Amino acid sequence: MPQMLDSLPVLYRDLLPDFFQKEIPVETKATCASCAMCPSSGSETVESVDGVSRLFRPDTKCCTYYPKLPNYLVGALLSDTRDELDEGRRRVGEKISSRVGVTPQWVRPSARYNLLYRNSRQFFGKAASMRCPYYELDHGGCTIWPYREAVCSTFFCKYVAGADGRKLWMTFKTYLALAEIQLSRYAVLQLMPEYILAGRDKPDLSETPTVEDLDDKPLPQKEYAALWRQWAGRERDFYRGCFEAVRALSPEQVEKILGLDGVIELKVLEKSLRDAVAPELPKVLKLNPEATVKWLADGSVALGAYSEYDAVALPGVAYSLLVEFTGREPVSAVRERLRKEKQADLHEDILLELYRHRILTEA
């Protein structure tokens, strides 16, 4: 299995604690090169519920999300002169020149995009208008992938460990998001301390965009100059400086910067990793009353619970066995009764997989 670090930009190899050298499951079900959520022969029957397709567009895949890039990752990209990143550098450069969503701490989506995203989650993976600006349409890939942020590093449509896998990657994302906030603040503190001392790094809690925001207009020149001060017009140099400041840190310094929040999030992540790689079957199980059940034309049944994107297809006869798990008796007793009364058995490995998908839940 790969290390946790393998799913992150290379920059983090020298910054994060030894824990991130631990192995993590390979997400073989989330096939990005040949998207597992795009239409294929027979997929529509399983990947739809109540006639509503859950599949993604081939020209967007899951990339209907606009990442918020921390300053040091922007600087790392701008400092990387490899030819294969020419397009990514060009697109980020255009974004910086637009002065929309460009701050000393972040290169982020516009307020207009955020407003649309918050109110269009049902169109995730389906709306071309929400496609990431760093997505390369011709080849279906990311132009800035080596310097992707927390969400793009940890999102999968399906997880080999089911609900436990999703919890693992979600807690991984939380830790990385904390690192992005704190490391980007640290970088600004080194290069433009007045920005931090004035509290401009605090999140903007205002959810109401202005008319200018809706039109994606840049900040007026006077406001922009006040925001960037001596770095106005030299934003690329600033971001490169942020990269240099962060990559000079040791893991011990990063741990100190993340503080108590980092210690707590790392503990949560450690537990999530244990649950994902070494799950235990509960002694008592019941069929999840909230699981979706769809009977297919061939007599099999598609069951979903923890995720709208990940269903399990079983022979139809298996469903009649699952309903016997009511949560009123131990799993061992249910299995013994099924062997005697129906000459059937559900192997522990099958039960564990159904539990990981939360089709069966702990009573």
Q: What is the pTM of this model?
A: 0.92
Q: Are residues 290 and 254 in the same domain?
A: no
**Would you state the torsion angle of the CA atoms of residues 10, 15, 16, 18, taken in this order, to the nearest 10 degrees?**
100
What are the pLDDT tens digits along the chain (363 aa)?
899 999 999 999 999 999 999 999 899 999 988 899 998 744 444 455 555 578 999 999 999 999 999 999 999 999 999 999 999 999 999 999 999 999 999 999 999 999 999 888 888 999 999 999 999 998 889 999 999 999 999 999 999 999 999 999 999 999 999 999 999 999 999 999 999 999 999 876 666 788 888 888 999 999 999 999 999 999 999 999 999 999 999 999 999 999 999 999 999 999 999 999 999 999 999 999 999 999 999 999 999 999 989 999 999 999 999 999 999 999 999 999 999 999 998 999 999 999 999 999 998
Gap between the Cα atoms of 78 and 89, Å rounded = 6
Contact 29, 159 (CB under 8 A): yes
**Comparing C-alpha atoms, which of 254, 238, 263, 128 is closest to residue 188?**
238
* SS3 of residue 204 by DSSP: coil
From residue 256, alpha-carbon distances to 260, 267, 309 in Å are 8, 15, 38
What's the domain count of the chain?
2
Q: Are residues 290 and 269 in the same domain?
A: no
Q: Are residues 18 and 40 in the same domain?
A: yes
**Comparing C-alpha atoms, which of 333, 298, 337 is closest to residue 317?**
298
Gap between the Cα atoms of 21 and 45, Å rounded = 40
Residue that terminates a domain, selected from 259, 277, 295 = 277
Gap between the Cα atoms of 352 and 185, Å rounded = 43
Gap between the Cα atoms of 211 and 107, Å rounded = 21
* Contacts within 8 Å (CB) and 24+ apart, 99-104: 99/218, 99/219, 99/224, 100/216, 100/217, 100/218, 102/235, 103/200, 103/227, 104/71, 104/188, 104/191, 104/192, 104/195, 104/200, 104/227, 104/228, 104/231, 104/238
Domain residue limits at 315: 285-362
- Tens of pLDDT, residue by residue over 266-310, are 999 999 999 999 999 999 999 999 999 999 999 999 999 999 899
Q: Are residues 19 and 161 in the same domain?
A: yes
41 DSSP 8-state letter: T
Q: Are residues 323 and 199 in the same domain?
A: no
- Tens of pLDDT, residue by residue over 98-111, are 999 999 999 999 99
Q: Are residues 268 and 297 in the same domain?
A: no
Contact 245, 190 (CB under 8 A): yes
86 Cβ contact list (under 8 Å, min separation 6): none
Contact 247, 136 (CB under 8 A): no
Q: Are residues 135 and 160 in the same domain?
A: yes
